[in-house]
Amino acid sequence: MKHKRSNFAISFRAGNAGMIASFVMAVGGIFIGAGATYLGERGAAAQAARIEAQTTFERENTPEEKAYQAREKIIRRVLTGAPPERLPTPQYTQVQKIKPKIVIIFDDMGLDRSALDVVSNLPGPLTLSFLPYANNVDELAQLASDRGSEVMLHLPMEPQGRADPGPHALRSNMNGSEFIKELEWNLSRISNYVGVNNHMGSKVTTNEAAMKTVLAYLEHKNLFFLDSVTTGDSVVRAAGSSVGAKVFSRDVFLDADAHNPQAVFNQLMLVEKIATETGFAVAICHPYAETIAVLGPWLT
């Protein structure tokens, strides 16, 4: 899924008082500064709210947003099995239906070298997303790239609840300098990657101020962000629209029911249907033995 050849169009609530802020906009673009990442003043938050109110209508009525909402209706129908609505076919699907595309992303790569070897030998093309805290992760990511896989960075983010996202995760209680420091550490761990998706992150991806910071930084580096959609309350699309970042979204988790081959197969059927009806589908999975056993023959 190379950044330059990606074919699908790109796409939160402030969490707590410490994160209420506006991301600073500089003349001619977005100025990324650790000391100015979040503004804690109520006045800044109120100004941001007024600006958001003024731009919400325009954002919701762009051709891209209308196409996204039309596609979302189709996906909801596919996932729930509901009868089709009598809706006009969006123009963008008429073009993309000529050749449906499916993107398969393997998350949590880098922790197990043997898993990397197995996944790299699957018929591709595939996208591998590497955890930045894995040992020798840059070497492993380069190996995957050399073998023909697309490479992404799997950015650790704070989830709701007590699950541990791993070291150097972005957290909602960090101040601006801490947040930027950890973001830069993660992004520096591998090279030659085309985009980023969140590892966990159900808490941070509901915080618009935090996600504007992440997305503006990625846009500055010409990287896209793929929302793994670990929560239904994600505000990634809104944040991306505000800062002009390139954002995608995951459609289906193949192995949310871990180690269940039949469940993986059923999810693949949903992926096919979404791709056929909307022009493309984005699926995320993990290097589980059961997932690979089903995915290998399907890819062939």
Q: What is the mean pLDDT of each run of 10 residues along the chain (300 residues)?
A: 39 34 36 38 42 57 81 86 48 59 97 96 94 98 96 98 97 96 98 97 97 97 97 96 95 95 97 94 97 96
pLDDT in tens, 125-170: 999 999 999 999 999 999 999 999 999 999 999 999 999 999 999 9
Task: With beta carbons less than 8 A apart as the criterion, state whether 109 and 119 touch.
Answer: yes
Dist. CA 132–CA 157, nearest whole Å: 12
Dist. CA 225–CA 155, nearest whole Å: 10
For residue 214, the SS3 value is: helix
Dist. CA 76–CA 72, nearest whole Å: 6
Dist. CA 158–CA 166, nearest whole Å: 9
Residue in the structure block whose two tokens are 């009806």: 277
Structure tokens at 256: 């949310």
